Structure 1
Amino acid sequence: MIDGTVVYYQGSPGAFSEAAILSHWPNAIPQGFPTFAETFQALQDNPNAVGLLPIENAYRGPVYDVLDLLTASTLSIWAEAVQPVELALMAYGHSDLSRIKKVRSHPQALMQSQMFCREHGLIVEVALDTAGSAKELLESRREDVGAIASPRAAEIYGLNIVRRGIQDHPDNRTRFWLLSQRPIHLTSPLNRMKTSAVFDLPDKPGALVNYLLWYKKFGLNLSKVESRPRPGAPFAYRFWIDVVGDAKSLDQAWESGLSDLEWFRRFGTYPVLSE
């Protein structure tokens, strides 16, 4: 269903999103956009478009821009994919760490390599994406600035790798959601299904606990519960959940708890392709 399909992502060639696309669908055609907002707009403008967007890093947490844009969209989740993330420091024209004073990358990559940056006294500067920072470094030809991106990005843009594996955690990885307005039918090689949803509850004691008990009743595992600010209601919150379990039990729990909710969006029940 995906091989041979154009798949949108945020970033430039060499981005981890592009790597996630190609590692799961080698014959897909990745197409990058500069920002998350532009990627979502392209997915909204084309009812048949497909995109792969990062949703959470294993150690640095959610990508909130994507969560908020997804909530405001009409897109559904059709699969989850997990991609290992190896970060490399790269430079233009040399591989001498002592010559680098500042590094540029996407905020998530900077968070994921902050121990290395602090240890070496590097000034960090935010860029739109990891591979984009490598591309910009090639264009600027500055030798006192480094980029943090994938080793493949260094190869694509002709940069020298100064240090590989600079991520804080060796088993660093990011999970992605496959998004589209149209149905995409995939199966999980792990035999694992998830449901993701966002909802508002009444502001009263026990509202969240009572709602979540529906999932316990049907033998489901809440793998993630998170609160986010509720738009238009200062210091009020809406809740995100990821639930693991078979589709029938997920549907039963969801339908049973609907009357507890003031507002909701269910993004789909989808297969987990990797972990």
Structure 2
Amino acid sequence: MMALDFVINKGITPTFIWGSFDSVLVIGNLRYENVNKCSCFTVSAHQRAIIPVEDQKPFLHSAYQNHSKGFHRDINMLPKPLTSIDDSSSASDGSKVRVAYQGVPGAYSEDAALKAYPNCETVPCDDYEAAFKAVELWLVDKAVLPIENSADGSIHRNYDLLLQHKLNIVGEVQLRANHCLLGLPGVTKKELVSVVSHPQALAQCRTVLNDLGVDKVRDQDTAVAAKTVAINCVRHTGAIASSRAAEIYGLDILAEGIQDDDENVTRFLVLAREPRIPGTDQPYKTSIVFSLEEGPGALFKALSVFSMRDINLSKIESRPLKQRPLRIVDDSNHGSSKYFDYLFYIDFEASMTEPRAQNALVQLQEVVSFLRVLGCYPMDTHV
């Protein structure tokens, strides 16, 4: 098994490691070799990095069976979502990749999973935390989770979970929203009195819904909304969901592409236990997270290591550092002031195989107190 391990500590020569078991490559002060461990990239001024021992894959029983992606006559036969405390799943015969997503069958996250792995077995999860844990506990092979939307911004919960769990980003999926107005068979748009869906979907289809003059009812998920309409069999209630949700739950598509913005795109991350071996065969992206040493211009110094090497930053996201949320700064005239400490998540467009990316990270360690590579993966250029 091939793996990537990238560990940097204060006062320790940085080492970048990947490849096959019998190869070692040294470029400058960068040493490439093989390890069979989970990936961990950490910089700490107070603690040496610890590389965890590879997990043992547990035996999995058949609580969750593969399911058809077509119409289900009996909705109760659909796979039940995993929860964050589940410890069971079906054993894989190796013929399909098992991919976890948040939601129920027909969710846009499932569409993203199928775009990433067209022949995969999708596994629904109750929440984002459950999807992370499903990968860690070997219940599934991958997880596909949303990280940002062009209309509504970042999904902060998943940024926080990226740091709390030791999974690797191995890919990304960009999925264009195609919101459909769904109803029971034979129902027309004029019969609808209310429409149920996720709050974001309702907001993204405001123009059409206002023209219809219907009540907007919030639900936890678009696919859950479609399922609710199918189960309750109320003719005057419609749902906003995907065309796959209509097929799965036996609903008619009353109108398609009803979103206000046709360029509404959601970006998803593909997560796995082992990192992807980076290459140069196609455009690659690298995701990192770091916190800064105290001092003026620290963020400018951190970002300049990429600018001076012509490395484009495609995403910058900041999140409060929960372990040390506030920093006291003395002021001789007005007493003390309190400032937030932050974690900075950055995506930059370069492969870890490129010397410019390696040198940028080596220089970055000089101005940060913590640094972790979340993954290096091909960019999704097809929306």
Q: What TM bracket, shorter-length normalisation?
A: 0.7 to 0.9
Structure 1 or 2, whichever has the larger Rg, is 2
Q: Distance in 2 between matches of 1:239 and 1:123?
A: 40
Alpha-carbon distance, 1:252 to partner: 1.6
Change (3 A) 1:187 1:245: closer
Aligned to 1:245: 350
Q: Distance in 2 between matches of 1:170 and 1:107?
A: 18
Kindly indicate whether the alpha-carbon contact (under 8 Å) linking 1:52 and 1:179 is maintained by their aligned counterparts in 2.
yes
Aligned to 2:182: 90
- Percentage of identical aligned residues: 35
Aligned to 1:8: 100
Kindly indicate whether the alpha-carbon contact (under 8 Å) linking 1:188 and 1:272 is maintained by their aligned counterparts in 2.
no
Structure 2: unaligned runs, 5 residues or longer: 1-93, 327-339
> Over residues 110-163 of structure 1, what are the superposed CA-to-partner deviations in whole Å (9 max), with x where a residue is unaligned?
343344344544444443322122112211223333221111211211112222
TM-score for both structures, normalised by structure 2: 0.65
TM-score for both structures, normalised by structure 1: 0.88
1:130 paired with 2:222, answer yes
Aligned to 2:369: 262
Change (3 A) 1:93 1:76: same
Alpha-carbon distance, 1:84 to partner: 2.2
1:33 paired with 2:130, answer no
Amino acid at match of 1:242: D
Q: Distance in 2 between matches of 1:187 and 1:95?
A: 52
Q: Distance in 1 between matches of 2:202 and 2:370?
A: 35
Q: Distance in 2 between matches of 1:260 and 1:35?
A: 36
Alpha-carbon distance, 1:272 to partner: 1.3
> Over residues 162-198 of structure 1, what are the superposed CA-to-partner deviations in whole Å (9 max), with x where a residue is unaligned?
2211112113222211101123458787x21111122
Change (3 A) 1:197 1:110: farther
Structure 1: unaligned runs, 5 residues or longer: none
Kindly indicate whether the alpha-carbon contact (under 8 Å) linking 1:34 and 1:128 is maintained by their aligned counterparts in 2.
no
Q: Distance in 2 between matches of 1:123 and 1:84?
A: 26
Change (3 A) 1:37 1:122: farther
More helix by share: 1
Aligned to 1:144: 236
Change (3 A) 1:128 1:188: farther
Kindly indicate whether the alpha-carbon contact (under 8 Å) linking 2:293 and 2:368 is maintained by their aligned counterparts in 1.
yes
Q: Distance in 1 between matches of 2:101 and 2:299?
A: 34
Aligned to 2:135: 43
Q: Distance in 2 between matches of 1:272 and 1:188?
A: 12
Amino acid at match of 1:59: A
Amino acid at match of 2:169: I
Q: Distance in 1 between matches of 2:357 and 2:321?
A: 25
Q: What SS does structure 2 have at the residue aligned with 1:259?
A: coil
1:213 paired with 2:317, answer no
Q: Distance in 2 between matches of 1:213 and 1:186?
A: 24
Aligned residues: 273
Aligned to 2:292: 201
Q: What SS does structure 1 have at the residue aligned with 2:260?
A: coil
Aligned to 1:177: 269
| Aligned-CA RMSD value | 2.5
Kindly indicate whether structure 1 or structure 2 has the higher relative contact order, using CA contacts under 8 Å at least 6 residues apart.
1
Kindly indicate whether the alpha-carbon contact (under 8 Å) linking 2:134 and 2:140 is maintained by their aligned counterparts in 1.
no
1:73 paired with 2:168, answer no
Amino acid at match of 1:10: Q
Change (3 A) 1:219 1:116: same
Aligned to 1:17: 109
Change (3 A) 1:185 1:266: closer
Alpha-carbon distance, 1:60 to partner: 2.1
> Over residues 64-103 of structure 1, what are the superposed CA-to-partner deviations in whole Å (9 max), with x where a residue is unaligned?
2222222211111011121222011112345433443433
